[in-house]
Amino acid sequence: MTSRASKCPECASRELNLDDKRGEYVCDDCGLVIESDIIDTGPEWRNFQETNDASRVGMPENPMFHDKGKGTTFEWKEGTSGKSRGQFYRMNRYQNQARVRTSVDRNLVGALQTLKKVASTLGIGNQTMARAAEIYRKAVEARLIQGRSNDSMIAAAIYTATRIAGTPRTLAEISQHSRVGQKEIGRCYRFMVKELKIRVPPPHPRDYVEKICSELELPAMSSGKAVELLGLLDEVEFSNGRNPIAVAAGAIYVASIMTGHKRIQREIAEVANVTEVTIRSGYREIVKILNIELE
């Protein structure tokens, strides 16, 4: 049984949504702000935008650089004389030494490279990658890395970021691309989320529909139908305690038949990484609950 940790303490609703700009979780039903100041992904130049004070506040921070892109580099152009070239070289070197001085920064330099590599082989977008970097930075700053390997914490940060972004990757997927075992990633994830007080919404079957459907080359009509079915299933809390991927797979099977683009159970089972048996029992329950006649 999968536990559903995040519930609204006020009205017990499970509809908690992340307000990206404000870094808050808000209950859809009663509007209660569950926790604030989680991760601020908004631009850092609000001072300039929100007031008429035109003071210069610098570029938005880029979490993919260990110093968030704030460092200075000195450049020379073709034709600069040998003497000043040497000067520029020294200036850059001092500057770089200064930038990488603290232990946090030293850790971050290598880690962000690894993070980028792992995330891009997983096909994770820049937004989510940046969020993972931000989470990882917080973990380093909170001294959570000691006793754990960098790589496993990087993997955990990526896992967390994809879940928050609503495009969750499985532990197995991340494990495959990162040389860290699933269990280890899971352990680090739980530890990190707890220590940094990050609220991660439970994954919804809907989050997996796009990915599975596109791998099956199903048209938007079918994925739309699947999402629609999942919406109806929500009303009876069908997916409670179930593997959301399995639920999504079952709904997609039904939707593929209903929309005339049938995919066989084995195909769906393969891309969703569940067994045919699971899809079978899932979809049988779905058609029963929703009173759907197939064929």
Query: Nearer to DNA by C-beta: 105 or 267?
Result: 267
* Interface pick for DNA out of 92, 148, 273, 290 (rule CB under 7 A): 273
**Residue 196 three-state SS:** coil
Contact flag: residue 125 with DNA (CB under 7 A): no
We find the least distance from the C-beta atom of residue 189 to DNA, in angstroms, to be 11
DSSP state of 30: T
We find the least distance from the C-beta atom of residue 262 to DNA, in angstroms, to be 7
We find the least distance from the C-beta atom of residue 223 to DNA, in angstroms, to be 18
Contact flag: residue 1 with DNA (CB under 7 A): yes
Give me the 2-31 binding string for DNA, x by CB under 7 A, dash otherwise. xx----------------------------
As a whole number of angstroms, the distance between CA 222 and CA 244 comes to 18
3-state SS, 204-266, equals CCHHHHHHHHHHCCCCHHHHHHHHHHHHHHHHCCCCCCCCHHHHHHHHHHHHHHHCCCCCCHH
List the strands of the sheet with 16-19, edge to edge. 16-19, 24-27, 33-35
The string of DSSP letters for 31-68 reads --EEE--S---S-S-HHHHHSS------SPP-TTSTTT
Contact flag: residue 270 with DNA (CB under 7 A): no
* Interface pick for DNA out of 165, 246, 251, 258 (rule CB under 7 A): 246
Q: Which stretch binds DNA (CB under 7 A): 30-38, 58-66, 70-78, 282-290?
A: 282-290
Q: How many of the chain's residues bind DNA (CB under 7 A)?
A: 24
Query: Nearer to DNA by C-beta: 64 or 274?
Result: 274
> Would you say the C-alpha torsion 31, 35, 36, 38 has a positive or negative sign?
negative
Query: Which one, of 199, 209, 202, lies nearest residue 230 by Cα?
Result: 209
Query: Nearer to DNA by C-beta: 1 or 54?
Result: 1
**Residue 9 three-state SS:** coil
Segment 131 to 190, residues that bind DNA, using CB under 7 A: 183
We find the least distance from the C-beta atom of residue 228 to DNA, in angstroms, to be 20
Site for DNA, rule CB under 7 A: 1-3, 183, 241-243, 246-247, 262, 264-266, 273-278, 280-284
